[in-house]
Amino acid sequence: MEEESVALQRRSKRRATLDVAFHGLVLMATAFALIALAVLMFDVFRKGLGWLDFQFLVSFPSRIPERAGIYSSLTGTLWVTAITALFAFPIGVATAIFLEEYAPKNRLMNFIDINIANLAGVPSIVYGILGLAIFVRGMMLGRTVLAGALTMTLLVLPIMIITSREAIRSVPSSLRLAFLAMGATQWQTIRHIVLPASLSGIFTGSILTVSRAIGETAPLILIGALSFVAFVPRSPLDEFTVLPIQIFSWVSRPQAEFSNLAAAAIIVLLIVLLSMNAVSVWLRLRFEKRNSK
Amino acid sequence: MNVTEEVRSVEFELPAAKVRMRKIKERLIYSALLGCVLISVLTTVGIILSLITETFSFFQEVPLGQFLTDTRWTPLFADKHFGIMPLVAGTLIILVGASLVALPIGLASALYLSTYAKPGVRKVVKPLLEVLAGIPTVVYGYFALTFVTPLLRTFIPDMSIFNALSASIVVGIMIIPMVSSLSEDALVAVPHSLREAGFALGATKFEVATKIVLPAGLSGVIASFILAISRAIGETMIVTLAAGSTPKLTLNPLESIQTMTAYIVQVSMGDTPHGTIVYKTIFAVGMLLFLITLAMNIIGQMVTRRYREVYE
């Protein structure tokens, strides 16, 4: 009797120890990911902050590190992002509306669902190959801002559709039914009920989706964005470069100065991305406030 | 949703012309929306067509047998060999290394977040992991080349500057958030009653996590693994910057290698004339990459769908 209870006690002690040990293990694993993030940020800021000044933002790239800047690449990024948003937002939202509000439940729609999910998983470099074959060669757009933006549009479209659908799906169907019951047509219901109710979700998702396009490098290398651009694109049919490609080209150089320039450009890129995140959070809060009134 | 049919009886109060206009407008909008849906279908068609045409013309010059069995990949040299194996081996090293980093760590943090973490901690950790997921890959490439590689070389001095080890570790770090968030979704979806039953029997959190929650959510966890590995295969910038550009049939992670994606970038950086065999290699390698990732994504989705059915 005595022995058994001792054995039991020992066993439950061992189980408790195991539990604590496992807790420590999974905590450490999570901490590893966060520490990696912290180290990355610290490293980038330590190397890049000294090179970051106003001159850096308004100078063209140069062979002399002290004179080099990101004027052309930052402008190119803004161009490509703006045009991508211009195409991807309406097409993505329209697709989401159709799939949520109109689409019948049949095999074809099921296929389209699976197709979109698969497109979201296609490696970005394959979109680059698509852009090269269709926009640069097929439509003869060349290595232009427009070709880049169209490639990026196709790249972000699946994610844009998926996030917009989630926002539209969250509108309670009782609202739709009430409006339809009053004699509204389907489009009137969408226009006056569904869209206003889901707009905040659609915007938040869209901003985050477009911010993914800002960080993409590989597809734009494929379509031939240049790495040394000493001019600013004036129209969608001009050649261009973007911030990630500028970073890539500086990191590829062996000299430490250029690696530091890359770090400075990374800081700018991260600031652009973080501020887009902040805008989407701010928008969501604002809409939530208005809806609660 | 076809509620409009039942509502039609109200329409007699409107003038006939207005009703007709409305109907036309509805139909136009329907067509416009449907047109947008078709763009996503056309994208798939476009990807497949553009890959197939050039790949086909590639295989008219290079026999499929040579592509699959030759052990050298040297399209950019005078003595051209078109054996895909070195690029596949390079991709394989990266994917194995990245999996060794990301799968255990991602799963562990999913278990931590779903079982151990207090709600307050979760609220902080989850968005931070999302930040990790949102960092552009070129930034990770910079990190691999200028931080991780020098760090590793202090321990392994004879490792080359461009090496698979550093790249695969950083690719692993990049896909940790994907594994942890998808796995966590699967683990959280396990009904609460199962956990409660475990705790009621006196099980510790460790026992509940590993003997109840994990087995119940296993298919979702496996799906997250498959999707994350597919991401690692398609990753481009980290391997281009840090793993090197020497296609080599090796499994030694300390050497400089080249992945399929890095090769595609290397060729597109140079001015490769349209129609040459080198230009066509982009498409042949891209086709293989597309097929591999597509297969993995489809398997991943099938596994996900299966586990959803269990709890609905």
Residue B19 — pLDDT band, cuts 50, 70, 90? confident
Contact (CB<8Å) A34/B128: yes
Please tell me whether residues B47 and B107 are part of one structural domain.
no
Residue B69 in domain? no
Assess contact for B160 and B197: CB atoms under 8 A. Answer: no
Residue B73 in domain? no
pLDDT value at residue A34: 94
Please tell me whether residues B35 and B108 are part of one structural domain.
no
Contact (CB<8Å) B34/A277: no
Residue B108 in domain? yes
In percent, how much of chain A has pLDDT > 70?
Answer: 98
Candidates A9, A30, A115, A193, partner chain B, best to mutate (most B CBs within 10 A): A30
Please tell me whether residues B15 and B97 are part of one structural domain.
no
Name the phi and psi angles at B197, rounded to 5: -60, -45
Give the domain extent around B165.
Answer: 85-311
Mean pLDDT of B267-291: 90
The DSSP symbol for A65 reads G
Judging contacts by C-beta atoms under 8 Å, the chain B residues touching residue A214 are 136
CATH of the domain at B109: 1.10.3720.10
Tens digit of each residue's pLDDT (9 = 90 or more) over B25-78: 999 999 999 999 999 999 999 999 999 999 999 999 999 988 998 889 988 888
Contact (CB<8Å) A19/B294: no
Please tell me whether residues B50 and B92 are part of one structural domain.
no
> According to the 3-state scheme, what is the secondary structure of chain B?
CCCHHHHHHHHHHCCHHHHHHHHHHHHHHHHHHHHHHHHHHHHHHHHHHHHHHHHHHHHHHCCHHHHHHCCCECCCCCCCCECCHHHHHHHHHHHHHHHHHHHHHHHHHHHHHHHHCCHHHHHHHHHHHHHHHHCCHHHHHHHHHHHHHHHHHHHCCCCCCCCHHHHHHHHHHHHHHHHHHHHHHHHHCCCHHHHHHHHHCCCCHHHHHHHHHHHHCHHHHHHHHHHHHHHHHHCCHHHHHHCCCCCCCCCCCCCCCCCHHHHHHHHHHCCCCCCCHHHHHHHHHHHHHHHHHHHHHHHHHHHHHHHHHHHC
Residue B7 — pLDDT band, cuts 50, 70, 90? low
Please tell me whether residues B106 and B251 are part of one structural domain.
yes
A157 touches chain B (CB under 8 A): yes
pTM: 0.90
Please tell me whether residues B18 and B109 are part of one structural domain.
no
Tens digit of each residue's pLDDT (9 = 90 or more) over A129-149: 999 999 988 888 888 899 999
pLDDT value at residue A12: 87
The minimal CB distance from B108 to the residues A25, A129, A214 is found for A25
The C-alpha atoms of residue B8 and residue B88 are separated, in whole angstroms, by 61
Tens digit of each residue's pLDDT (9 = 90 or more) over A215-252: 999 999 998 877 677 778 888 888 888 999 999 999 98
Residue B93 in domain? yes
The DSSP symbol for A67 reads G
Contact (CB<8Å) A248/B237: yes
In chain A, the residue whose alpha carbon lies closest to the alpha carbon of B115 is A23
Positive or negative: CA dihedral A147, A150, A152, A155: negative
B248 to chain A, closest Cα gap in Å = 21
Please tell me whether residues B121 and B263 are part of one structural domain.
yes
pLDDT value at residue B285: 95
If we measure between CA atoms, which residue out of A58, A249, A219, A244 comes closest to residue A143? Answer: A219
Residue B92 in domain? yes
Positive or negative: CA dihedral B159, B163, B168, B169: positive
Residue B79's CB: how many other CB atoms inside 10 A? 6
A242 touches chain B (CB under 8 A): no
Residue B16 — pLDDT band, cuts 50, 70, 90? confident
Residue B131 in domain? yes
Residue B312 — pLDDT band, cuts 50, 70, 90? very low
Q: Which of residues 38-77 of A touch B (CB under 8 A)?
A: 39-40, 43-44, 47
pLDDT value at residue B310: 55
Please tell me whether residues B31 and B106 are part of one structural domain.
no
Please tell me whether residues B34 and B146 are part of one structural domain.
no
Residue B181 in domain? yes
Residue B307 — pLDDT band, cuts 50, 70, 90? low
Tens digit of each residue's pLDDT (9 = 90 or more) over A147-202: 999 999 999 999 999 999 999 999 998 999 999 999 888 899 999 999 998 988 89
Does the structure show a pLDDT above 70 at B8?
Answer: no
Please tell me whether residues B38 and B108 are part of one structural domain.
no
Residue A92 — pLDDT band, cuts 50, 70, 90? very high
Residue B142 in domain? yes
Please tell me whether residues B8 and B132 are part of one structural domain.
no
Please tell me the CATH superfamily of domain A57-292, with its number.
MetI-like (1.10.3720.10)
Domain count, chain B: 2
Question: Which comes out higher in pLDDT, residue A234 or B182?
Answer: B182
Tens digit of each residue's pLDDT (9 = 90 or more) over B201-240: 989 999 999 999 999 899 889 999 999 999 999 999 999 9
Judging contacts by C-beta atoms under 8 Å, the chain B residues touching residue A24 are none
B71 to chain A, closest Cα gap in Å = 25
- Give chain A's mean pLDDT: 89
pLDDT value at residue B227: 92
The C-alpha atoms of residue A147 and residue A131 are separated, in whole angstroms, by 7
Helices first, then strands: H and E counts in chain A: 12, 0
Does the structure show a pLDDT above 60 at B9?
Answer: no
Does the structure show a pLDDT above 70 at B2?
Answer: no
Please tell me whether residues B127 and B258 are part of one structural domain.
yes
The crossing angle, in degrees rounded to 10, of helices B277-311 and B16-61 is: 130
Which residues, 6 or more positions from B75, have their beta carbon under 8 angstroms from its beta carbon?
B81, B82, B267, B277, B278, B281
Does the structure show a pLDDT above 60 at A43?
Answer: yes
